[in-house]
Amino acid sequence: MSSTIAQAARRELTDFTGELISPEDSGYEQARAVYNAMIDRRPALVARCADADAVARVIGFARAHDLPLAIRGGGHHGAGLGTVDGGVVADLSPLKEVRVDPEARTVRVGGGCVWGEVDRATNTYGLATPSGIVSTTGVGGIATGGGLGHLTRKCGLTIDNILEADVVLADGSQVRASADENADLFWALRGGGGNFGVVTSFLFRLHKIDTVVAGPTFWPVDVSAEVLTAYRDFLPNAPRELNAFFLYGTVPPAPPFPEEIQLRKTAGVVWCYTGDDSAAAAREMAPLLDALPEPMLHAAGPMPHPDLQSMFDGLYPPGHQWYWRADFVDEISDEAVQLHAKFGAEVPTVHSTMHLYPIDGAAHDVGPDETPWGYRGATWSTVYAGVDPDPANAELIKRWAVDYSDALHPYSAGGAYVNMMMDEGQERVRASYRGNYERLARIKADLDPDNVFRLNQNIRPS
Ligand SMILES: Cc1cc2nc3c(=O)[nH]c(=O)nc-3n(C[C@H](O)[C@H](O)[C@H](O)COP(=O)(O)OP(=O)(O)OC[C@H]3O[C@@H](n4cnc5c(N)ncnc54)[C@H](O)[C@@H]3O)c2cc1C
């Protein structure tokens, strides 16, 4: 069956600008792999698209043959949304343009870039746009789903910094979306998560961010309730220049971490002060540090922004097992702190972690219906990530993430960040878009009535 599809593709997609890879080809194993090794799917065809016309042709091919179509940016989504059994993958990885306009403070970015490519190019001019915390994550998924990271409090979510997008729609047409052009599409794709079209090129706003004062502070996990309580009370009142996400985890067993603390379980924060003045950064961090016992490690220092952005790359290469759960949180009660302390002390493997990403500051400047991201009132986005290189531990890490998230879910705001959920069903997707779901479903009905783009956190056409 899949070789019939590949034959049809080679016959029908002549002069294809890109590469067609099917199960018979030597590069197939590499081409079918996504970041999460728990996902093991075998598409009939992986079409690496080198331009928007190629994307349009692949969409047309999948539709003509009634095949499920996956769109892949960086391939990082935990649920494996960038691949599909027996169907067609439009792999955008050849779309690698990164063009900085330092005067206009914008960057044009191909839909198949990963964030490291963008961060390095913009840093040449002392500029940056907000993204995630791992440099190998795809621009496409983050920029259509939300985008939270070290610059959230200062510059907002990634979606808040999109100025334009070039999009291939389900009918193959190619359009530009901006505040002035195709405004409904522009609204929907800033959070609607790939439901509305394939973005072949984004234009992002840039901010003057160059050297940052960043790094972790780790406390022993047995004082974690104290750390989390102090963090919860401190951060929402800190200036926007200071970002700090909270984590449970294990000190990695490698330099630069001192040997005596390697493999110790920890509660910590990862700082990012958006400025190069170490003394000013220390002053802003002091109220939290002074309120707590001596940490095992305090390693915040000046570094170029791209160095911070790639700080976790070594710990999280492609090919690990991942199981994610997530929630938005308005506030963290004392009861919730105690539950966090229990599950945080039980992180099952070195790579498994819980993060509380702040989503206040500049992210709160945007109203709840200005983009599909409906939880503008929430203060944190929680993620429970069971991670391990060994497939034998897949059940163990999944159990921990599920039990942890089930225990904390009653203390959450309801929905979750769509980019950090697995396949959790329609009600969960609906809850995550809150009051914006109906408008999204109407736009979906207009632009993609047959739900061609359905391998995502799916918004059903109304
Ligand atoms: C190690 C790791 C760290 C992460 N850290 C963060 C973080 O700090 N902050 C954060 O916000 N998220 C983070 N994430 C989650 C991340 O936002 C999602 O995994 C996101 O989907 C990744 O985008 P991608 O393009 O790599 O994914 P893919 O799996 O390729 O795609 C995910 C979804 O986006 C759609 N899509 C991708 N590209 C396009 C495009 N060009 N046009 C239209 N639709 C597209 C796909 O169809 C699919 O439905 C992290 C994930 C991992 C694995």
Residue of the CA atom closest to atom 46 of ligand 1: 71
Q: What is the DSSP string of 389-441?
A: S-GGGHHHHHHHHHHHHHHHGGGS-S---GGG--S--HHHHHHHHGGGHHHHH
pTM, 2 dp: 0.97
* Contact in structure between 362 and 156 (CB atoms under 8 Å): yes
- What's the rounded mean pLDDT across residues 219-224? 98
Distance CA 370, CA 374 (A): 9
- What's the rounded mean pLDDT across residues 394-416? 97
Q: Does 389 score more than 60 pLDDT?
A: yes
Strands (E), 103-149: 106-110
Question: Which residues make beta-bridge pairs with 210?
Answer: none
Could you tell me which of 305, 309, 132, 311 has the C-alpha nearest to residue 213? 305
Report the chain's mean pLDDT, rounded to a whole number. 97
What pLDDT, in 10s, does the model give residues 297-308? 999 999 999 999
- The rounded Å distance from CA 232 to ligand 1 centre is 28
Residue among 34, 72, 76, 371 to mutate when testing ligand 1 (max atoms within 8 A of CB): 76
Distance CA 83, CA 259 (A): 40
- The rounded Å distance from CA 66 to ligand 1 centre is 25
Residue 50 CB less than 6 A away from ligand 1: no
* Contact in structure between 308 and 300 (CB atoms under 8 Å): no
Q: How many CB atoms lie within 10 A of CB 250?
A: 19
Residue 351 CB less than 6 A away from ligand 1: no
Residue of the CA atom closest to atom 20 of ligand 1: 141
Residue of the CA atom closest to atom 33 of ligand 1: 141
CA Rg, the chain, in Å?
22
Q: How many CB atoms lie within 10 A of CB 222?
A: 11
Strands (E), 116-264: 162-168, 174-178, 198-205, 211-220, 242-250
- What's the rounded mean pLDDT across residues 340-354? 98
- The rounded Å distance from CA 146 to ligand 1 centre is 9
Q: What is the DSSP string of 34-51?
A: -S-TT-----SEEEEESS
Residue of the CA atom closest to atom 53 of ligand 1: 76
Residue-level pLDDT at 3:
76
Residue 72 CB less than 6 A away from ligand 1: yes
Distance CA 112, CA 116 (A): 12
Residue of the CA atom closest to atom 13 of ligand 1: 132
Residue 58 CB less than 6 A away from ligand 1: no
Q: Does 266 score more than 90 pLDDT?
A: yes
Which ligand 1 atom is at minimum distance from the Cα of 139?
Answer: 25
Residue 107 CB less than 6 A away from ligand 1: no
Residue of the CA atom closest to atom 17 of ligand 1: 142
Could you tell me which of 383, 316, 353 has the C-alpha nearest to residue 136? 316
Instruction: Please report which confidence band the pLDDT of residue 2 belongs to, taking 50, 70 and 90 as the band edges.
Output: low
Residue-level pLDDT at 50:
98
Question: Which residues make beta-bridge pairs with 205?
Answer: 106
What pLDDT, in 10s, does the model give residues 126-137? 999 999 999 999
- What's the rounded mean pLDDT across residues 205-224? 98
Could you tell me which of 387, 413, 389, 411 has the C-alpha nearest to residue 400? 387
- What's the chain's length in residues? 462
270 φ, ψ (degrees, to nearest 5): -115, 120
Residue-level pLDDT at 1:
56
Residue 444 CB less than 6 A away from ligand 1: no
* Contact in structure between 43 and 87 (CB atoms under 8 Å): yes
User: Residue 213 to residues 155, 239, 428: CA-CA distances in angstroms?
Assistant: 16, 14, 37
Residue of the CA atom closest to atom 39 of ligand 1: 140
Peptide bond into 256 cis (omega under 30): yes
> How many whole angstroms from its chain centre is CA 250?
22
* Contact in structure between 421 and 324 (CB atoms under 8 Å): yes
Distance CA 208, CA 17 (A): 37
Contacts of 447 (CB under 8 A, 6+ apart): 169, 170, 185, 188, 196, 197
Instruction: Please report which confidence band the pLDDT of residue 45 belongs to, taking 50, 70 and 90 as the band edges.
Output: very high
Residue 71 CB less than 6 A away from ligand 1: yes
209 φ, ψ (degrees, to nearest 5): -135, 120
Distance CA 263, CA 179 (A): 49
Question: Which residues make beta-bridge pairs with 178?
Answer: 164
Q: What interhelical angle do 224-234 and 334-344 show, nearest 10? A: 130
Distance CA 198, CA 172 (A): 10
- The rounded Å distance from CA 233 to ligand 1 centre is 31
Q: How many CB atoms lie within 10 A of CB 100?
A: 20
What pLDDT, in 10s, does the model give residues 11-32? 999 999 999 999 999 999 999 9
Which ligand 1 atom is at minimum distance from the Cα of 196?
Answer: 43
Residue 55 CB less than 6 A away from ligand 1: no
Which ligand 1 atom is at minimum distance from the Cα of 420?
Answer: 15
Instruction: Please report which confidence band the pLDDT of residue 111 belongs to, taking 50, 70 and 90 as the band edges.
Output: very high
Residue-level pLDDT at 412:
97
- What's the rounded mean pLDDT across residues 200-211? 98
Residue 48 CB less than 6 A away from ligand 1: no
- What's the rounded mean pLDDT across residues 116-123? 98
Which ligand 1 atom is at minimum distance from the Cα of 322?
Answer: 53
Residue 215 CB less than 6 A away from ligand 1: no
- What's the rounded mean pLDDT across residues 184-203? 98
Residue-level pLDDT at 140:
98
Set out the domains of the chain in order of their start, with CATH numbers.
Answer: 2-91 (3.30.43.10), 98-208+436-447 (3.30.465.10), 211-420 (3.40.462.20)
- What's the rounded mean pLDDT across residues 223-234? 98
* Contact in structure between 100 and 119 (CB atoms under 8 Å): no
Q: Does 278 score more than 70 pLDDT?
A: yes
Q: Does 250 score more than 90 pLDDT?
A: yes
Q: How many CB atoms lie within 10 A of CB 284?
A: 18
Could you tell me which of 343, 308, 384 has the C-alpha nearest to residue 134? 308
Residue-level pLDDT at 61:
98
Could you tell me which of 460, 439, 429, 449 has the C-alpha nearest to residue 145? 429
